[in-house]
């Protein structure tokens, strides 16, 4: 038998092939994987409540019931709010058909004067008031598709809530024999909670400021667009752009080009300042991913799990990093490429 190792290029090719096969398998069962990951992230998010109740000597059933109730109230509230908002939007949008026709005629006249009629006409053919509704529906359908599977979500959350104390004891017992894996999973849970907490706080700040700006600019349904801004705050890099499109289009229909410009400027000032300059200072090293790794994770998980994958891109990537990289001491330089942090000697 030869002691020669496989060529590095062949190893990299095999790893890449295995990754593609694994992602394709996950994509094939995305209807199951999505709810499972969401339930796991939500269970991790409320675990401090369970730990606090346990320290205070609360009965075991209380330590399980309270975090479970918090999560269920959040899920039902989100489903109810999104459903009511989309229904209201569906009633509102058709009333702007005439206004869109007027703006389209003005755009065509301007394009004819500047010799760019074909390009403008093509853009107008693909854009109409119904696009606003379709955009909002498409964005929330992936989330609501999972959230409205309430039976599966309830079962998963209840099972994970019941098993959480047991898993905590197993992790503590395994720390002596598998310190690297236990440490990696503990770090994953801690970073996920901090990421969710910071993103939620700053998402609420951005959403509140967006609602106020849209209210003063007289854009219809400001609360819906504020909720959309909160949800898209969890989407790395491009989240605020996604949340900007529907209110900007409605501003165009209600206030013309001036209204569109004012909404775009307001969103840029609010969201770019908060998310690009203030939020990273509080988030710190909670994510532990380079900008490139974050953007690639968004692309990959959105392809695998759709809209829910975009929302859970960071927690999913942190989980993969914990299992495949952080748990392996020999992979410290791979972790450095992902996190951008030079490993300690």
**C-alpha–C-alpha distance, residues 131 and 134, integer Å:** 5
pLDDT at 55 over 50: yes
At residue 86, the pLDDT reads: 67
DSSP H helices, the chain, are 8-28, 30-45, 47-55, 60-92, 97-114, 117-125, 129-147, 150-174, 179-216, 222-232, 239-267, 279-283, 291-305, 307-311, 313-321, 332-339
Read off the pLDDT of each residue in 261-267 and give the average, rounded to a whole number: 90
pLDDT in tens, 167-209: 888 888 887 788 888 888 888 888 888 888 888 888 888 889 9
Compute and round to an integer the Cα radius of gyration of the chain.
Answer: 24
Distances (CA, A) of 320 to 64, 117, 315, 323: 27, 49, 9, 5
Per-residue burial over 269-299, b = 16 or more CB atoms within 10 Å of its CB, e = otherwise: ebbeebbeeebeeebeebbbbeeebbeebbe
Q: How far apart are CA 102 and CA 123, in angstroms?
A: 15
- Confidence band, pLDDT 50/70/90 cuts, at residue 225: confident
91-95 long-range contacts (CB < 8 A, ≥24 apart) are 92/220, 92/221, 93/129, 93/130, 93/132, 93/133, 94/129
**Is 232 within 8 Å of 243 (Cβ atoms)?**
yes
Of 101-115, 125-139, 267-281, minimum mean pLDDT range: 125-139
Res. 287 pLDDT band, cuts 50 70 90: confident
- List, as own/partner pairs, every contact residues 161-164 make where C-beta atoms lie below 8 angstroms and the sequence separation is at least 24, other chains included: 161/43, 161/50, 161/64, 161/67, 161/68, 162/64, 164/43, 164/47, 164/50, 164/64
Task: For the full predicted model, state whether its pTM sits above 0.95.
Answer: no
Q: According to the per-residue pLDDT averaged within each range, which of 82-96, 102-116, 134-148, 185-199 is highest?
A: 185-199
Residue 176: Cβ within 10 Å count: 8
Statement: residue 94 has pLDDT above 80? no
């Amino acid at each position: 038998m030869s002691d020669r190792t496989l060529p590095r290029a062949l190893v990299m090719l095999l790893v890449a092939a295995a990754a593609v096969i694994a992602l394709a398998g996950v994509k094939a069962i995305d209807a199951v994987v999505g709810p499972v990951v969401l339930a796991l992230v939500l269970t991790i998010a409320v675990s401090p409540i369970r730990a606090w109740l346990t320290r205070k000597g609360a009965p075991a059933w209380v330590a399980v019931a309270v975090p479970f109730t918090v999560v269920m109230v959040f899920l039902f509230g989100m489903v109810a709010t999104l459903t009511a908002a989309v229904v209201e939007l569906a009633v509102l949008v058709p009333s702007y058909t005439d206004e869109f026709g007027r703006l389209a005629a003005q755009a065509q006249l301007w394009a004819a004067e500047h010799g760019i009629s074909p390009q403008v006409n093509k853009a107008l053919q693909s854009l109409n008031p119904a696009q606003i509704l379709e955009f909002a529906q498409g964005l929330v359908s992936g989330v609501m598709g999972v959230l409205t599977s309430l039976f599966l979500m309830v079962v998963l959350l209840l099972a994970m809530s019941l098993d959480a104390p047991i898993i905590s004891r197993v992790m503590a017992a395994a720390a002596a024999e598998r310190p690297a894996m236990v440490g990696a999973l503990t770090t994953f849970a801690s970073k996920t909670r901090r990421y969710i907490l910071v993103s939620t706080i700053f998402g609420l700040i951005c959403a509140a400021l967006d609602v106020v700006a849209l209210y003063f600019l007289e854009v219809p349904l400001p609360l819906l667009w504020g909720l959309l801004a909160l949800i898209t705050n969890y989407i790395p890099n491009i989240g605020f752009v996604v949340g900007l499109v529907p209110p900007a289009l409605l501003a165009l229909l209600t206030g013309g080009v001036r209204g569109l410009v004012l909404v775009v400027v307001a969103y840029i000032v609010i969201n770019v300042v908060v998310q690009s300059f203030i939020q990273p200072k509080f988030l710190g090293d909670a994510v532990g991913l380079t900008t490139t790794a974050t953007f690639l994770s968004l692309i990959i998980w959105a392809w695998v799990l759709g809209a829910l994958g975009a929302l859970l891109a960071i927690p999913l990537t942190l989980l993969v990093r914990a299992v495949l990289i952080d748990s392996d001491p020999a992979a410290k330089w791979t972790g450095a490429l992902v996190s951008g942090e030079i490993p300690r000697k």
